[in-house]
């Protein structure tokens, strides 16, 4: 990459950072400018640093497998100091004085020290630290006054315009699989299709080329119940109490409607199976009318097209064999004609037969635009009214839905409910465990009676605080005389990870020579971190 392109990239990164965080960006820019103006000392590690950054997990909030990494308490402390002091003052007080090494400090922000720098002078870790600072400052700052479960319950009690953002995790207790969970998620079960990426099932180009791929999977994700979970009822309860501003759902099962959430309060960001539309004539039908065909392994055809073709009569025009070449076909080693086997005979391959259009469920595929209602409601209505955000059952990995939370005013409290924490967004309170268990306890503390057949009678709910995280809570729900059902990450395991690390704050022993800021930035080319994002899809957990 040329020097001019490097400077343009860094300038663009600064403009974005300045727009979001004008106060913090001044210090950060000064650090980066000093590094840029320094002379190079011969390092040729641009691609190595970029590769190392891409390997770092956005989900990792604490480095647990690196010797002398920061403890959870230290990580919280340094993230707080970064915002309060700014990058320059933090470096001055803790790096220049030798209290902590750069190598150790980067672990406070979830970064592992790159292996190719092992044994190098501590100052060579500065580019990683700058990237860690940039990523942390780009996040919304946690509101420090909200930490406890009661804080979350009180917020729900007093708020009047709540945005609830939901993912597939709120439906898993009905036996509906989510998409991204290891071993149990839908994507993990699609390896037999021979695709490079399971998400290709939901790419619109692949659907146009060979819809049989999608319909072979659709039977497994088809809504098969009119039931709904306690979490769905919790959202409907917010509506009944006049507190629900909007439920932005990434789910395609349309269960929110079963629970009573009104269309005026519901934005189905990725569409749903509620309707289906002909790819040829745009005729729309009620989704349930094609469910039987999908379950039978057939490709549903448009009744309006069929009626028109019958009126015209059957006309065949001789032509050459139809090609099925394309990326999907080549990957599977298949040469099948799309729709083959669903209707027609082998002899029909030699003819251009007018056929009815395919009815595609109105779920949003990769490569399709989200419904207009998504952006319009968010930007023109909800942003100015929202007073609380609750995210339930989604890891917020898929854009643009993942951008809803950072787009909203940063002073609006945010609560996160799911089995696993996320680290690319700073929520004010993390409530970790089965969604149904968490909302049951929240309702109890808010003084609301959440009655549902799936909530065990006399259910006992135990909560525990994650060590080192004053706002992260684990929930365990069980009926009397049964064992607790806990979240996938127990507080014991988290605590063990924290206790096994050194708890000292003096990092002078980690490096023999004190590193001044001037020495540290000398000769280091700092690049802004580019975080790859996926486009929107019909699923997002």
Instruction: Find the DSSP H helices in 210-265.
Output: 212-221, 230-240, 255-259
Largest separation between any pair of C-alpha atoms in the chain: 89
Residues 6+ apart with CB under 8 A from 418: 169, 391, 392, 393, 394, 395, 432, 435
How many other CB atoms sit within 10 Å of the CB of residue 503? Answer: 10
**270 belongs to the catalytic site:** yes
Tell me the C-alpha distance between 338 and 322, whole Å: 10
Tell me the C-alpha distance between 426 and 408, whole Å: 13
Residues 6+ apart with CB under 8 A from 352: 316, 317, 318, 319
HEC letters along 308-340? HHHHHCCCCEECCCCCCCCHHHHHHCCCCCCCC
Q: Is 435 flagged in the annotation as binding?
A: no
Exposed/middle/buried for residue 211 (C-beta within 10 Å: 0-12, 13-18, 19+): buried
User: Could you say which of 232, 270, 424, 476 is catalytic?
Assistant: 270
Q: Is 498 flagged in the annotation as binding?
A: no
Asked if 95 and 102 touch (Cβ cutoff 8 Å), the reply is yes
How many other CB atoms sit within 10 Å of the CB of residue 282? Answer: 10
Q: Is 305 flagged in the annotation as binding?
A: yes
Q: Is 278 flagged in the annotation as binding?
A: yes
Asked if 360 and 203 touch (Cβ cutoff 8 Å), the reply is no
Asked if 414 and 428 touch (Cβ cutoff 8 Å), the reply is yes
Where in the sequence numbering do the catalytic residues fall?
Answer: 270
Annotated binding residues for Zn(2+), written as ranges, equal: 278, 281, 302, 305
Annotated binding residues, written as ranges, equal: 278, 281, 302, 305
């Amino acid at each position: 990459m040329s020097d001019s392109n490097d400077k343009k990239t860094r300038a663009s990164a600064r403009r974005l950072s300045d727009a979001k965080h004008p106060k913090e960006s001044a210090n950060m820019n000064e650090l980066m400018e000093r590094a840029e103006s320094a002379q190079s000392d011969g390092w040729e590690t641009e691609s190595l640093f970029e590769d190392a950054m891409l390997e770092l997990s956005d989900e990792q909030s604490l480095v647990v497998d690196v010797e002398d990494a920061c403890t959870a308490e230290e990580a919280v402390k340094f993230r707080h100091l970064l915002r309060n002091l700014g990058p320059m003052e933090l470096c001055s007080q803790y790096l220049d004085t030798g209290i902590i090494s750069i190598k150790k400090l980067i672990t406070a922000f979830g970064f592992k020290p790159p292996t190719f720098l092992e044994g190098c002078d501590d100052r060579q870790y500065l580019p990683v630290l700058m990237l860690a600072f940039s990523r942390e400052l780009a996040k919304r700052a946690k509101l420090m006054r909200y930490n406890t479960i009661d804080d979350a319950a009180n917020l729900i009690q007093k708020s009047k315009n709540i945005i609830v953002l939901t993912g597939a995790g709120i439906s898993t207790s009905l036996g509906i699989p989510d998409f991204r969970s290891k071993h149990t998620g839908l994507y993990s079960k699609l390896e037999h299709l021979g695709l490079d990426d399971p998400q290709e099932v939901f790419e619109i180009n692949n659907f146009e080329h060979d819809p049989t791929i999608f319909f072979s999977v659709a039977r497994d994700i088809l809504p098969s119940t009119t039931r709904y979970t306690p979490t769905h009822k919790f959202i409907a309860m917010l509506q009944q109490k006049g507190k629900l501003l909007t439920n932005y759902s990434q789910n395609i099962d349309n269960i929110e409607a079963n629970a009573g959430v009104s269309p005026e309060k519901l934005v189905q960001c990725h569409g749903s199976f509620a309707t289906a539309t002909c790819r040829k004539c745009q005729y729309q039908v009620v989704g349930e009318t094609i469910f039987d065909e999908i379950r039978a392994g057939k490709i549903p055809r448009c009744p309006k097209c069929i009626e028109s073709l019958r009126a015209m009569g059957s006309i065949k025009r001789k032509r050459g064999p139809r090609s099925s070449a394309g990326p999907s076909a080549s990957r599977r080693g298949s040469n099948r004609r799309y729709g083959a086997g669903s209707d027609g005979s082998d002899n029909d391959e030699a003819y251009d037969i007018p056929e009815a259009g395919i009815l595609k469920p109105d779920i949003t595929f990769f490569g399709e635009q989200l419904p207009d209602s998504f952006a319009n409601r968010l930007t023109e209505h909800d942003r100015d009214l929202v007073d609380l955000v609750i995210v339930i059952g989604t890891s917020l990995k898929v854009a643009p839905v993942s951008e809803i939370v950072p787009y909203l005013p940063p002073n609006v409290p945010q609560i996160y409910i799911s089995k696993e924490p996320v680290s690319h967004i700073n929520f004010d309170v993390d409530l970790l465990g089965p969604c149904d268990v968490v909302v049951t306890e929240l309702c109890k503390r808010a003084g609301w009676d959440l009655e549902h057949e799936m909530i065990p009678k006399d259910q006992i709910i135990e909560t525990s605080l994650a060590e080192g995280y004053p706002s992260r809570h684990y929930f365990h729900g069980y009926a009397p005389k049964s064992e607790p059902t806990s979240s996938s990450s127990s507080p014991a395991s988290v605590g063990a990870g924290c206790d096994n690390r050194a708890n000292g704050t003096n990092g002078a022993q980690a490096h023999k020579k004190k590193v001044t800021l001037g020495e540290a930035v000398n000769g280091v080319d700092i690049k802004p971190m580019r975080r790859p994002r996926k486009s929107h899809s019909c699923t997002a957990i």
